[in-house]
């Protein structure tokens, strides 16, 4: 009976989260239309890719730290604490159920997400005010490709150490609402996945503090 109650609660949580995401997607699409935000097409994205792939491979930098207090919410931070147990302190990762995790709770391999700042600027058509929109906790100027950062790579950032995980980070329906269908196909393509254009997943292996402007080095 207790087991059935546990999964009933989990299912209710997942339904509520899905409903929030649907509402946010509808709002994002409405906001894009109201603000006349331009979504780049495939040709434009491909044309700008070469410049977007010029990030450093050995030493990067943190451009932005983004906290997600709740679904659809974004808060830009100058600095933040990252812990082994809950990732970015104040972020909603620890509260998010995930169907692919062993117990249906937060996925341990998706604790922290990183996205390349140059790729993000390409996808947003250079609108720097939209860098926090996708909700990746760390926006960085660093080569995130599989060749440069294979799973298992440890990264020193501030006093924190994070480890790149195998779980792929891909575009979803929300991504379409933010940046358009062409952008999602662009990041989810075979080449896009090799280059990790949507970003990478990671987990904290040493708690510490990260600030905007901190260097990123391989461990």
This prediction has a pTM of 0.83
Q: Render pLDDT for 128-167 as a digit per residue (tens, 0 to 9).
A: 999 999 999 999 999 999 999 999 999 999 999 999 999 9
Provide the CATH number for the domain around residue 148.
Answer: 2.40.33.20
pLDDT at 110: 94
Query: How many domains, in total, are found in the chain?
Result: 1
Q: Render pLDDT for 13-66 as a digit per residue (tens, 0 to 9).
A: 666 665 555 555 455 444 444 357 889 999 999 999 999 999 999 999 999 999
Is 211 buried (19+), middle (13-18) or exposed (0-12) by CB count in 10 A? Answer: middle
Residue 26, φ and ψ in degrees, nearest 5: -60, -40
pLDDT at 34: 38
pLDDT at 7: 52
Q: Render pLDDT for 87-141 as a digit per residue (tens, 0 to 9).
A: 999 999 998 877 777 777 899 999 999 999 999 999 999 999 999 999 999 999 9
How many residues appear in the chain? 219
Q: Which residue has the tokens 């790579």?
A: 153
Helices then strands, each counted (H, E), the chain: 6, 11
Q: State the Cα angle at 140 between 134 and 141, rounded to 5°.
A: 130
Question: Which residues are registered as beta bridge partners of 68?
Answer: none
Q: Which domain holds residue 80?
A: 2-218
CB 175 within 8 A of CB 198: yes
């Amino acid at each position: 009976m207790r087991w059935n109650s546990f999964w009933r609660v989990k299912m209710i949580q997942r339904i509520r989260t899905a409903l929030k995401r649907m509402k946010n997607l509808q709002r994002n699409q409405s906001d894009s239309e109201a603000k006349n935000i331009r979504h780049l097409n495939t040709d434009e994205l491909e044309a700008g890719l070469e410049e977007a792939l010029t990030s450093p491979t050995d030493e990067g930098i943190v451009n932005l730290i983004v906290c997600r207090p709740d679904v659809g919410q974004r808060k830009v931070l100058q600095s933040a604490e990252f812990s082994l147990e809950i990732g970015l302190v104040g972020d909603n990762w620890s509260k998010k159920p995930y169907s692919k995790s062993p117990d249906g709770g937060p996925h341990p391999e998706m604790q922290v997400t990183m996205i390349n700042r140059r790729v993000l600027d390409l996808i947003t058509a250079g609108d720097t005010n939209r860098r926090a929109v996708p909700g990746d906790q760390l926006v960085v100027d660093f080569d995130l490709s599989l060749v440069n950062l294979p799973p298992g790579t440890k990264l020193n950032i501030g006093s924190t150490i994070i480890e790149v995980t195998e779980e792929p980070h891909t575009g979803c329906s929300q991504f379409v609402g933010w940046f358009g269908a062409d952008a999602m196909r662009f990041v989810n393509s075979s080449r896009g996945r090799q280059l990790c254009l949507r970003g990478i997943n990671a987990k904290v292996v040493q708690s510490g503090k990260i600030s905007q402007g901190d260097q990123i080095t391989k461990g």
